Structure 1
Amino acid sequence: MLLQRVSIPHLSPLVRSLPRLLPRANLPVASLSLSRNMATNQGFKQDAHKLLVIPGPIEVADDVLFANAHPSMSHVSPDFIPVFGDCIRMTREILFSKDAQPFLISGSGTLGWDQVAANLVEPGEKALVLHTGYFGDSFEECLTTYGAEVRQLKADVGGVVPLAELEKALQADKYKVVTFTHVDTSTAVLSDAKSIAETVKRVSPDTLVVLDGVCSVASEEIRMDDWGLDIVLTATQKGLGVPPGLSVLVASQKAVKTFQSRKTRVTSYYASWKKWLPIMNAYEAGKPGYFATPPVNLIYAYHASLTRITKAQPSLEERFALHRAASKRIKDAVTELGLKQVPTDPKYAANGMTAVYYPDGVGAADVVPRFGKRDVVIAGGLHAAIKDKYFRIGHMGITAVDSERGDIDRLIAALKESILEATGKQ
């Protein structure tokens, strides 16, 4: 029997699975005739897998993964140019900005630090880093690498830097940038972005406010224009719900003008806005541009996810509410088990992830594998001071937003069963 002719727009993972499926059906692979005339992803489902609930990468929706399997295409193709342009425009929408400049560059979230350090801070200029965990140290190291003089204001583990301390530091010295990690992935601490920006603008209005939103964009509310943020940097593999590989940075017009008026050469080649700004402007204007090859397939996936977030239901505002609701359910379950969270106050606790101390006498080897046996993948500790004392759970994107998946129910069940079993109470 011959397999009926099928029309598939591109070689998706579904098609790649046919060689292993056809022998069971006793159908010859040679009888397949693939066409790209009908573009549809109906029926595509990614392979069964363990539930990924680390603080990034996160679970990816089927249509986003399908878009990532687009046929290989030129980065200056007439078909690709408007897709890239739409991504630039929709990236602004995520952050409630009208005129900020997005930079979509192949790389990880770390590349955002390099862009800030190389383009906005000239050697010898001062930077103030608000430290709420591991990634404050990393941002400091990056800034120092590019020649900045860096001071840190360090919060206690699980806490935030008091605004009064920030104000005092700004009154005592002049800083080119103030940086903070909106959600530090090592502690699940959520900083008050609006209040930090208000304080900086009031005390030192020329200072640029830089928000590291790698673990917060699309899961926490960020209003770039209204709050006076100058930089928001992130990556695709967390709240944006796309596979890793794309660095996303959005710069206010004030930040762009600061870059354009610098007195010294940009201290990076690949991260230089002198190279990338014309490229972003060209694609948004519907024209091709080239400096370095963009990750074309990943841009298609990013486009699919941004379309979900900005053009479909639930709305962006509703997504934030759903993240808060999912977070509350998980944190309530943690409390019911008698466990403590790393954030020292609930108002400092992120909505896209939860960091939990192990019960007394129990460690990572007792808990993490038990989640794994239930096909749920969580993360161990990261912060050096408490690395072996806690674990981390991510609940961003479709895991928090799509209740029909049942991810939160499954996660809570695995949490309760794993902890009770590890403590001998089950």
Structure 2
Amino acid sequence: MSTVGLSPVLTEFWDHPQSWTMDTYLDHGGYEGLKKALTMDPAAIVQEVKDSGLRGRGGAGFPTGMKWGFLPPDDGGPRYLVVNADESEPGTCKDIPLMMATPQFLIEGVIITSFAIGCRHAFIYVRGEVVHVYRRLLKAVEEAYDRGFLGDNILGSGYSLDVTVHAGAGAYICGEETALLDSLEGRRGQPRLKPPFPAVAGLYARPTVVNNVESVASVPQIIARGASWFTSLGTEKSAGHGLFSLSGHVERPGQYEAPLGITLRELLDMAGGIRGGRQLKFWTPGGSSTPIFTADHLDTPLDYESVGAAGSMLGTRALQIFDDTTSVVRAVTRWTEFYAHESCGKCTPCREGTYWLKQVLRRIEAGQGTQGDIEKLLDLCDNILGRAFCALGDGATSCITSAIQYFRDEFEAGMHTPAWELFPPERSALFDYQPRNRDALAAAGDHS
């Protein structure tokens, strides 16, 4: 495969037969960043990360160094680093393979970050369903303790750190940072009212930094190579490299690590194009909670500013690719069913709104849409957007409003023709298709 435009940093030795071991990591320059960091003033590390322009890789894109700088002055009490490894967004699949293939990038990043912010106990909150990743992280932490990178007096520096790997219970809402903190404390995972923000009162009501896996894993190379190296990649306002997850109707799906600012057209060229030579119909630039794009956006630079200007969000760079055999109504309905199921129920707009969005969409998918259903969908979205307690409600509306914007005719067709007749599912299926009970689907759509 051509490597033009790629920047393998976190994925540099993913093809090594034992990429996840400490020995492999050390053979590829691992922990050089930590050794350098331990000779630096913690404030200098924070400044280096600020100068690098590293932005949060979990979706929001907030500057990482600035987030660290929000912590109040040290009062002698504990402060914490919590790594958000609860990757749950439909289509997002970058953190789990990263932790599976090269977990030591994350462990080293955790140590450097903790040293920079004055943390003595860090937590990695991983999604409970991925037991294989949980076990691999436990082993990686054990290896780091054995080699003296964790525990008391790390590398003779006088700095000590403990790391706890915690498995969640499989709730999408726990990807929201304050719901994650409640879950980590043993409570039901629900978003907290902000302010106070986690930087002031986070885990156990103490100052806390919550960062995404890829954000923390990017720190060792920034410290080892310098901020100027990182800013030489990407764009002026969206610096560095990132993992782009291509899935769906593409010849070679997978992880493509490239500088921010690359386009989907360039990525598709590397991935062999749309499967079977078909036409691109729509795609998500950052997972299902970001407004969809069409073939008209193939040359939009995949950086925070350009994607935002085009009407969507870069998010987690989860590029779900759909060809012209796909029903937009069906895809959006499946996503909405997910959001309705995963709503924590704390606030009325999200709890009730996602339920009714699901009912109306099922009706349209079954070809039983009624006059005014499209307007009803848009009105429901308008009553959720900006009114929900957290971003789950906003994300649930994005795919619907953008789908109606670009493919209104398909929703209008749902007033008389089922989606499975317009777009037979077996044509778009990636694997052997097992048809759902269409009578049950039609009955599910028959709601007033």
TM-score (norm 2): 0.31
Higher share in helix: 2
User: Relative contact order (C-alpha < 8 Å, sep 6+): which is higher?
Assistant: 1
